[in-house]
Structure 1
Amino acid sequence: MLTQSVSFFTLAPELWPSVLALLLSALAVMGTPGPSTLSVTAVGAAFGLRRSMAYVLGINLGTVSVLLAVAAGIVAMLMSMPQLAPFLLAASLAYILYLAYRIATAPPLAGPVEGQAVGSAPSFLGGYLLGIANPKAYLAISAVFAGSSLPFADPLLEALAKLAVLSLLIVAIHTVWLLAGVSLSRLLRDPLASRLLNIAFAAILLVTTFWAAFG
């Protein structure tokens, strides 16, 4: 244990710059607008903070599942079977179309208390499904995970450190986008403003999704 502690502190001057570089590159690739981040913002704006939490938890766990799949090489295995790609892409797009419809048709928040929109917000399962069906997540996470390195001699320890850093970043990114959406929910008491903004969010979600899939 003492040897491990000494080696860790010896490694620390090299480790933190590498971790910072990993965070900055991941933030640039994973934190930009995409299906999951925009959907979190749209759900936060349409349904408020409290009723969005289950959906955002699902998004986080779904995206972390993608991260684990990338680390385990499962994505590479699936990519080696191109006959599966059209079915996976079709399922992803079908769910995102449904989610865009839910966002576009969400009613305005009903009263002065945050989170009291009429109708049900997207569920935990819905968030998880989008997290694992998000085409941008596979591309972005694969690029960051394979294109970065941390100064560990043991490849397993390096992979575990990347998993820990990127998992925390996934949660932080979606939290920031959620809070951005919730800040807009204060403007959505007016039915017309609510409808226009929700339709705009739904349209942007569709555009970014199709761009990630086919762009």
Structure 2
Amino acid sequence: MMDDWPHLANALLLLWISAVALMGSPGPATLSLAGIGASYGLRAGLPYLGGIIIGTTGVLFMVASGVTALILAQPALVTVLTTLALVYIVYLAWKIATAPVAREVSDGAKAPAFVPGLLLAVANPKAYAAIGAVYSSQTLVPGHVIADSGVKVGALAVVILIVNTAWLSFGASLSRLLRHPTIGRLAHWFFAVLLLASVGMLLVIG
């Protein structure tokens, strides 16, 4: 087993590089996190972040267990899930675009919470495509299917935590710069448009 460590280290590094590039790239979940961070701040966005992380990790387990293949084999179910995801993403874009500028915690405006983040993550088509591509791209423990799957799930769960937290933090860091009413409003609409555009690109590619 000791002779396998150099291979494992190299394969794990390649897995992380590809995972950050694919899973951390702009998409419905990551852009919504940035938009919520910019519109509502870091603390208010934490419940939504938790939902995104748990939901995306759930997608990872579905990919690893083969459940995703069963879902994709049901066109009607895929259509229903995609439609629900699109409706919610449009609603979320509206929430980001119309969020109060330079709001205070006590002003009554609430950011989307845990459950909306969870639902978006589970219905996010980019998550299945990106995680599926990364998961199948590397074999970390040759000849040991269960160990290989366990290591990849653990490694990718770390990436899910880091990249999504980074996107929320990035948006929250911008919120302090968006105190001017006009600039802040334009920035909110910009994030909303980017969120909708990311979905449009996924539909075109798909």
Distance in 2 (CA, whole Å) between partners of 1:104 and 1:148 is 39
Contact 1:109–1:117 (Cα < 8 Å) also in 2: no
- Alignment of 1:78 with 2:78, yes or no, is no
Q: Is the 8 A contact 2:141 2:147 kept in 1?
A: no
**4+ long deviations beyond 6 Å:** none
Which position in structure 2 is the counterpart of 1:180? Answer: 170
- Out of 119, 129, 137, the position equivalent to 1:129 is 119
Partner of residue 63, structure 1: 56
Q: 1:188 to 1:151 in 2, by over 3 A?
A: same
Residue aligning to 1:39? 32
Which amino acid letter does the alignment assign opposite residue 150 of structure 1?
L
Separation of aligned partners in 2, 1:118 and 1:93: 27
Mapped to 1, the partners of 2:48 and 2:180 lie a distance apart of 24
Q: TM-score, normalised by structure 1?
A: 0.91
Q: Distance in 2 between matches of 1:203 and 1:13?
A: 45
What is the root-mean-square deviation in Å for CA atoms of aligned residues? 1.4
For structure 2, which runs of at least 5 residues remain unmatched after alignment?
A: none
Question: Based on CA coordinates, which of the two structures has the bigger radius of gyration?
Answer: 1
CA distance in 2, matches of 1:136, 1:214: 12
**2-structure distance, mates of 1:105, 1:146:** 40
Q: 2:190 aligns with which of 193, 196, 200?
A: 200
Count of aligned pairs: 205
Residue 150 in structure 1 maps to residue 143 in structure 2: no
Partner residue, 1:91: 84
Write out per-residue CA displacement over residues 54-104 of structure 1, whole angstroms, 9 at most, x where no aligned residue.
000100111111111111111100111112221111011011011001001
